[in-house]
Each structure stands twice: as C-alpha cells, then as structure tokens.
Homo-oligomer: A and B are copies of this chain.
Amino acid sequence: MGDKKSLGLGEFDLIAKYFAPLSVGCEGALSLLDDGAVLDIPEDESLVVSTDCMTEGIHFLEGTAGKHVATRVLGANLSDLAAMGATPRWIFLSLQLPKNTPKNTNEYWEDWLDDFSTALGSGLDKFGVSLAGGDTVTTLGPLAVTITALGSVKKGSALKRSGAEVGDEIWVSGTLGDAQLGLEILQMGDDAPNDKNSNFLITRHHTPEPRVELGKMLAQIGVVNACIDISDGLVADMSHICEASNVTAEIQLSNIPLSSAAKVLLDYDPTRVHKAAFGGGDDYELLFCLSPENSEQLNLLKSKTPFCKIGKIGTISEKSQNKGHAVKIVDPKGENVVVESGGWDHLK
C-alpha cells in the first residue's frame, strides 16, 4: 500500500503509462497485458538471447538519472547481441523500484520513470527494437534493472568467442578506455572538470553505442573466427576469447585506439589512461579475430564504423612465457607492459 501511495500509481497503471507505449507496433507484445509475449523470427534464423542486470551503487552511481540508467543497461544488452552478429528485436524489462527511501516521493519517481522510459524508448527506436514484456516490482533495496534482449541471426552464422586461430589478426572498433575515464570524472563529484573532452568521456560512460551494425556485417562476411564485446575491459575480454579458443594474444600498445580526449590525458597521466584502456569496462566496442588473408573483406565495412588492427593470435604455449597470462601487451620497444588489472569481474 505504501508503494501504491508513494508511487502514485499501481503496477498496471504504471505499465500503461510508461511502458505500454514502448510496445506499440509489436503485435506479439499483446500491449504488455498478457502473461507473456508471442513472437516469431524468420525461419532461417536462430534466436540470440542475452541478459544484463545493473544495480544502483554497484553498476551505476547512486542518483544516476533515469535516462543514463536506460541507455547503459540497454547498451550493454544490445552490445552482447552485436558481439554475436545478431539483429536485436525485442527486450524484456525487469524493474525493481525502491520502496523505502528518502527519494520515494510521487514526484521523484514519476520524473525518474518518465526520464527512464523516454530514453529507453529512444534507444529502442534507434535500433528498431520493441519492449515486449517484463515485470515491475518494488524492492526494499536500491533500484535495479534487468534487461533480457532477444535478437536473431542467420542459422550457423552467429559469432562466438571460441574459434580464434593461431596467426589471426586481432581487431577492435572505436576507441578504448573512454567509459572508464568518464566514470572517474563523474566520481570527482563537484570537483569534476566541465570541458569538452571531459563531457565527451562522461557521455561515453553514460551513453554507450552498441556496435549493432558492425556486428551484423561481421556475421554476414562470414570470415570472423571469434568476436566479443568489451564490457569487462580489453585484457579481460581478450582473455575470454583466448580461453574459449585455447590460444594467446599479443597486442601492440601503440595500436590501441584512443580518443582525442583520452590522448590529452595520456600526455600527463599515461598510467591512468593505459589502465582505463586495458582494464576499464563498458566501452562496448567489438573485439574480433580473423585470418590475415581475409582482412581485406573488412575494407567494405570501414566507412560505417571505425576499427583497427591491434595485435595477433599466438599459440597456447606462449602462455607459459608470459607468467601464465594469455594476453600480452607489448610497447614500441618490444617490451611487455605489466598489466595489473585483469578487468571487471561483476562480483568483485
């Protein structure tokens, strides 16, 4: 009852007001009024499904605006589908709204939900995705959002982490470390700088751009041996490919792509920038491997999304020469860069 009063709306009214509009155009969502959704994918395609959960105070800072929570959790999910080469189609949203907090006023939550649902709707529109169902509940704890995203890909063409082969080139899209540097700026609170570069980095943290089009193209060209999205950090996610493929990776430090905003920081604090580029999660760029003889097929895609070659795949035996690490980063002098951070483990 407290909830009903404080939220101003019951569950069904809340769904009707904020979320049913995001299901318009998706007949199988049944206006979010039934027990589930009834959906069809093309007969020659497989379903691809991914789930991501973010909780306040762990995955996003306390008091983060609804629009930023929406773009981050949607971005993380669609990025997982992109890493498999899938076309995103539907999401299912589980929203846990705090029951007993000082912020728990009508106005606060109505504004928050308006901000959240508007940004979620824009993100869905951008990628042609519909909200097809979910569950809205209260929690005695902080805000939490889980999205399960469904997409589809031509049968047999889904990109996976396994499959990288010795001699493969390693490629990555976009620039790395930005989201982590943006988070660090946000954590400065009132002392945070407010210049163009800082704002660019903050935006990279708040509004990830899942590489949906690139992922689809990589699946279509059919020569990518392994692919992953960088959600845990370059080293951690490269390690995931290495482990799944039973190989090692050597990455050239000088080839790791940095944004011009990160390059400005690089001049006076290289350690911070390198740590962010190696270990910072949430850039949601695609990291992929293919044979050098197929790399010219990438030229067709390059105009749409920037990407570059950063290293090569080696044999598993090289692991023992690198203190047991599957991933080695080498500086321009040919020396190993010590990688302290293994990236993001969601339970750390």
- Let me know if A347 and B11 touch, CB within 8 A: yes
Contact present for A348 and B142 (CB under 8 Å)? no
Binds B, one of A128-136, A186-194, A258-266: A128-136
Q: Given that A34-B161, A80-B36 are contacting pairs, would A51 and B133 also be in contact in the complex, using a CB cutoff of 8 Å?
A: yes
Q: Which residue of B lies closest to A161 (CB)?
A: B34
Nearest CB on B from A293, distance (A)? 26
> Is the CB–CB distance between A49 and B36 below 8 Å?
yes
Residue A220 at the chain B interface, CB threshold 8 Å: no
| Beta-carbon contact of B146 and A94 below 8 Å | yes
User: Which B residues are CB-close (under 8 A) to A201?
Assistant: none
Q: With an 8 A cutoff between CB atoms, is A346 at the interface?
A: yes
Give chain B residues whose Cβ lies under 8 Å from the Cβ of A162. Answer: 34
Q: A141-B55, A141-B141 given as contacts; is B347 within 8 A of A136 (CB)? A: yes
> Across the interface, do B51 and A134 meet the contact criterion of CB distance under 8 Å?
yes
Q: Give the distance to chain B from A91, nearest Cβ to Cβ, in Å.
A: 10
29 CB contacts below 8 A, A to B, read: A3-B347, A3-B348, A10-B347, A33-B161, A33-B244, A34-B162, A35-B50, A35-B161, A36-B50, A36-B81, A36-B83, A38-B153, A38-B158, A40-B46, A40-B47, A47-B47, A53-B94, A54-B137, A58-B139, A58-B140, A59-B137, A92-B148, A94-B148, A135-B346, A137-B347, A139-B142, A140-B142, A141-B141, A144-B144
Binary per-residue interface labels of chain A (132-172) against chain B in the complex, 1 for a CB within 8 Å, 0 otherwise: 11111111111010101110010100101110000000000
Q: Mark A41-82, 1 if CB is under 8 A from B, else 0.
A: 101001111111111111100000000000000000000110
CB of A195 within 8 A of chain B? no
Complex: how many Å from CA A30 to CA B141? 33
B144 touches A58 (CB 8 A): no
Which chain B residue lies CB-closest to A86?
B36
Does B34 contact A133, Cβ atoms closer than 8 Å? no
Is A4 interfacial (CB-CB < 8 Å)? yes
